[in-house]
Chain A
């Protein structure tokens, strides 16, 4: 007995401790400390707010703009320009771990002199691609804004124009789209040029310096549009701006590998525009009336899970809506029944 006791002198305590540990882990798993409200709860919350009239809170707008100015300075840093990225500057990619490029003569010549907008912009519409836009009839209202921003080269054909409008001043394009839909622009380029014709005189905003793999396709978009003398111009996203915006939202409690393009755009819009209205930001599978909707207004391709934290982002935006910083359009702008009868 004595030998055994000597062999296992501290057996009993660790068994108890690990049992306790397992118990705590299980408890945390079942009732987590940090827990996101699920879809139903969010919809309920939104519905509660729905009856109240929304009013822009100008002090809140000014305050939020000041916050953004302090952290990220959208007016200067929104895009890569000759002013904010002089030649020879070392540029750290925001989506890679320790990877940078130095701006050389060839790259430098692709940048505009300064951010090419008349700042501040008056009324802005930021259009997400959520399925909630389908049959919303918001096209007219979206087009009424002075400046319309869209995400990820969305389709704007005539069947959608009633719901999403037709005006565009800025559209983002993800390099992965260029890769998937246009074979990295290494072969035929006509299809791409034809597909961006719907955006008329708009800027195509590309995160060229976020991922290693994105630089080539993004620069090629520039070359292609220049070759064809297209009306669209390319703006390259500034990785420093994207990183600052990411940090800003992280401090507000968004846990994701990377923010979605939509949130980047909304943040930029809040810094650049006086009045911001956002459409189609609704990352859930049911609408306010409990009807199932598609993921995008044009298709139902679900994204890779675990990359973006859409519900968290939505909650942040919803908070901004409630505090009167921006307006979030979730209801249809026109009654679909009167729309169809008209």
Chain B
């Protein structure tokens, strides 16, 4: 026992001591950070309880500016953006009519949804050689049979609806209790055949006026409608009188499947209308958003619907548009409100789209809902 290392007392700046100092320094820094942020959180917590701030208060202007000044998504860390977005929730949202009108007039110049959103007998006369959106060499010849499927004219006109809700399928909708607020809108868009069963309706509502269907869903879940068709029809029945919207002329693979949907609904004598996106509209919209910095192979259906809604409605509310793995408070959420199936990577540029929506929210063009609803 009497043995001690003779060199131990001399090792003043040896490895062990340095290591210890490093650990201490790291601990101190972390502690300081925690204290600083903690105070910040505390402050914000109290502010929130003072009630939502007026739209035009200086604080809100500042907060909105905080988001608008982030020009590119990579300029700030994601957590920083979340923080700014979270603090903005304190402010009431109001529509900025001048900004909104400016934006809408831009859209009407580039895309003109009230005339070109769907293929109609008016904008696609018999004998038209319709160009596909992606298969640029592909051309679809509009014959009598297809022509008869198109509506006479666009069923909607500019700013027809007072308040529209576009419902994305983000996991942020889970436990949001936004169902009633969504249902209170005059017109509700939904994407990609989402489930609206009893399990979900308190969060997502049931009212549906337009529902899009991705042909890939039909191919995978319903065998291209070449086998049984009743299951697909039953799924569509859930949306009652909603019109079904399909990108039939996006690429050549989609066409047959999309046209079959019309036959299915006719065969079962359903009242639901079937519409097809005009490929030129899709091209124009994606071109526009490319200019706004959404670089993706393809823009998402949600973005197309929001763009269309901005022209068709006076006030646009977005629900379930949040494409990050965690909600603004940093809690992890599922990818969709109904499942957690991740999309193919590198196909859509979701974060960049959401970032654009946050910008537009701050400018007062539309409203993005990311929290829980306490409406009605």
Which chain A residues have a beta carbon within 8 Å of chain B's beta carbons? 186-190, 193, 216, 219-220, 223-224, 226-228
Contacts of A188 in B (CB 8 A): 263, 266-267
Q: Is the beta-carbon distance between A227 and B266 smaller than 8 angstroms? A: no
Q: Is the beta-carbon distance between B267 and A223 smaller than 8 angstroms? A: no
Q: Is the beta-carbon distance between A189 and B267 smaller than 8 angstroms? A: yes
Q: Is the beta-carbon distance between A220 and B230 smaller than 8 angstroms? A: no
Minimal Cβ-Cβ distance residue in A for B145: A187
25 contacts between A and B (CB under 8 A): A186-B226, A186-B256, A187-B259, A187-B260, A188-B263, A188-B266, A188-B267, A189-B229, A189-B263, A189-B267, A190-B266, A190-B267, A193-B267, A219-B227, A220-B227, A223-B227, A223-B229, A224-B229, A226-B230, A227-B228, A227-B229, A227-B230, A227-B233, A228-B230, A228-B267
| Residue from B226, B228, B256, B267 in contact with A226 in the complex, judged by beta carbons closer than 8 Å | B228
Contacts of B266 in A (CB 8 A): 188, 190
A-B pairs, top 5 by smallest CB distance, nearest first, are A227-B230, A190-B267, A188-B263, A223-B228, A223-B227
Q: Is the beta-carbon distance between A220 and B226 smaller than 8 angstroms? A: yes
Q: CA of A85 to CA of B111 in the docked complex: distance in angstroms?
A: 58
Contacts of A227 in B (CB 8 A): 228-230, 233
Segment 225-251 of B: residues with Cβ below 8 Å from A: 226-230, 233
Contact with A along B202-238 (1 / 0, CB 8 A): 0000000000000000000000001111100100000
Listed residue (A187, A188, A226) with the most chain B CB atoms within 10 angstroms of its CB: A187
Q: CA of A188 to CA of B260 in the docked complex: distance in angstroms?
A: 8
Minimum CB–CB distance for B74 against chain A, Å: 48
Q: CA of A227 to CA of B223 in the docked complex: distance in angstroms?
A: 14
Q: CA of A224 to CA of B268 in the docked complex: distance in angstroms?
A: 11
Contact with A along B310-337 (1 / 0, CB 8 A): 0000000000000000000000000000
Q: CA of A187 to CA of B267 in the docked complex: distance in angstroms?
A: 10
Given A188-B263, A223-B227, 5 further pairs, Cβ under 8 A: A190-B266, A223-B228, A224-B229, A227-B228, A228-B267
Contacts of A189 in B (CB 8 A): 229, 263, 267
Q: CA of A224 to CA of B259 in the docked complex: distance in angstroms?
A: 17
Contacts of B233 in A (CB 8 A): 227
Contacts of B227 in A (CB 8 A): 219-220, 223
Q: CA of A219 to CA of B226 in the docked complex: distance in angstroms?
A: 10
Minimum CB–CB distance for A207 against chain B, Å: 19
Q: CA of A173 to CA of B74 in the docked complex: distance in angstroms?
A: 64
Q: CA of A219 to CA of B260 in the docked complex: distance in angstroms?
A: 18
The number of chain B residues with a CB under 8 A from chain A is 12
| Residue from A186, A193, A228 in contact with B260 in the complex, judged by beta carbons closer than 8 Å | A186
Contacts of B228 in A (CB 8 A): 223, 226-227
Minimal Cβ-Cβ distance residue in A for B264: A189
Q: Is the beta-carbon distance between A187 and B263 smaller than 8 angstroms? A: yes
Contacts of A219 in B (CB 8 A): 227
Minimal Cβ-Cβ distance residue in B for A216: B226
Minimum CB–CB distance for B234 against chain A, Å: 10
Q: CA of A190 to CA of B229 in the docked complex: distance in angstroms?
A: 12
Minimal Cβ-Cβ distance residue in B for A184: B226
Q: CA of A228 to CA of B228 in the docked complex: distance in angstroms?
A: 10
Contacts of A224 in B (CB 8 A): 229
Q: CA of A193 to CA of B229 in the docked complex: distance in angstroms?
A: 13
Listed residue (B228, B260, B266, B267) with the most chain A CB atoms within 10 angstroms of its CB: B267
Q: CA of A189 to CA of B264 in the docked complex: distance in angstroms?
A: 8
Listed residue (A193, A216, A227, A228) with the most chain B CB atoms within 10 angstroms of its CB: A227
Contacts of A186 in B (CB 8 A): 226, 256, 260
Minimum CB–CB distance for B193 against chain A, Å: 19
Minimum CB–CB distance for B147 against chain A, Å: 15
Minimal Cβ-Cβ distance residue in A for B229: A227
Minimal Cβ-Cβ distance residue in A for B267: A190
Minimum CB–CB distance for A213 against chain B, Å: 14
Minimum CB–CB distance for A93 against chain B, Å: 20
Minimal Cβ-Cβ distance residue in B for A189: B267
Contact with A along B245-276 (1 / 0, CB 8 A): 00000000000100110010011000000000
Q: CA of A145 to CA of B296 in the docked complex: distance in angstroms?
A: 69
Minimum CB–CB distance for A51 against chain B, Å: 55
Q: CA of A181 to CA of B259 in the docked complex: distance in angstroms?
A: 19
Q: CA of A55 to CA of B256 in the docked complex: distance in angstroms?
A: 58
Contacts of B256 in A (CB 8 A): 186
Minimal Cβ-Cβ distance residue in B for A224: B229
Q: CA of A19 to CA of B267 in the docked complex: distance in angstroms?
A: 69
Q: CA of A242 to CA of B193 in the docked complex: distance in angstroms?
A: 45
Q: CA of A216 to CA of B223 in the docked complex: distance in angstroms?
A: 13
Minimum CB–CB distance for A179 against chain B, Å: 14
Minimum CB–CB distance for A209 against chain B, Å: 17
Minimum CB–CB distance for B210 against chain A, Å: 24
Listed residue (B227, B259, B263, B266) with the most chain A CB atoms within 10 angstroms of its CB: B227
Minimal Cβ-Cβ distance residue in B for A226: B228
Q: CA of A189 to CA of B261 in the docked complex: distance in angstroms?
A: 12
Minimum CB–CB distance for B246 against chain A, Å: 15
Q: CA of A35 to CA of B15 in the docked complex: distance in angstroms?
A: 111
Q: CA of A3 to CA of B255 in the docked complex: distance in angstroms?
A: 78
Minimum CB–CB distance for A178 against chain B, Å: 13
Minimal Cβ-Cβ distance residue in A for B224: A186
Contacts of A193 in B (CB 8 A): 267
Q: CA of A228 to CA of B229 in the docked complex: distance in angstroms?
A: 9
Q: CA of A219 to CA of B223 in the docked complex: distance in angstroms?
A: 13
Minimum CB–CB distance for B263 against chain A, Å: 4
Q: CA of A190 to CA of B266 in the docked complex: distance in angstroms?
A: 8
Minimum CB–CB distance for B100 against chain A, Å: 43
Minimal Cβ-Cβ distance residue in A for B269: A190
Contacts of A187 in B (CB 8 A): 259-260, 263
Minimal Cβ-Cβ distance residue in B for A106: B227
Minimum CB–CB distance for A107 against chain B, Å: 11
Minimal Cβ-Cβ distance residue in A for B263: A188
Minimum CB–CB distance for B346 against chain A, Å: 34
Minimal Cβ-Cβ distance residue in B for A219: B227
